[in-house]
Amino acid sequence: MNAEAESVSGRNGGSGESGSDPKAGKLGPQDPKVQMARLDALIAAESDEERLRAGLGIRLALGLAQEMREGKPIGSQTTELVAGWMHDYGQDTVDAATRVAREFLIKPEELRKSLGQRLGLEGQA
């Protein structure tokens, strides 16, 4: 998950901006649709199984959070996503991704701190 988080946080929010944003590269709130698009691209290119599972879990958590934010029924958009993963990656990978997503939704502050420490951003959050 560390390399996945580094890949995701190391880009300037997908906005194409150079270094003008002092918060660029930090873990923090961004447009969820931008985050999901970035993760989709990373997931499509990932070959390491553990990073793939972590990426899928993060993507699922973002999708579920977006459904909640928009007041849509849980699973209204993510069910189709997970069904596609079942076909593409198999039950074990989807089960692992679901565990990652659950942790992100249940313990987001703990995970944010842990990722921040791994990436050397703990004092900047």
pLDDT of residue 84: 95
119: Cβ–Cβ under 8 A, 6 or more apart, which residues? 2, 5, 6, 9, 27
pLDDT, tens digit, 9 for 90 and up, residues 76-115? 999 999 999 999 999 999 999 999 899 888 988 887 787 6
Domains of the chain by residue range = 2-11+30-119
Give the integer Cα–Cα distance in Å for 125 and 27. 7
* Region class of 16: left (phi > 0), else alpha (psi between -120 and 50), else beta: left
**What are the helix (H) ranges across 11-90?**
32-45, 49-69, 78-89
Q: Map tokens 């990426």 to a residue.
A: 55
Q: What is the pLDDT of residues 24-70, one digit of tens each?
A: 444 455 777 888 888 899 999 999 998 899 899 989 998 998 999 99
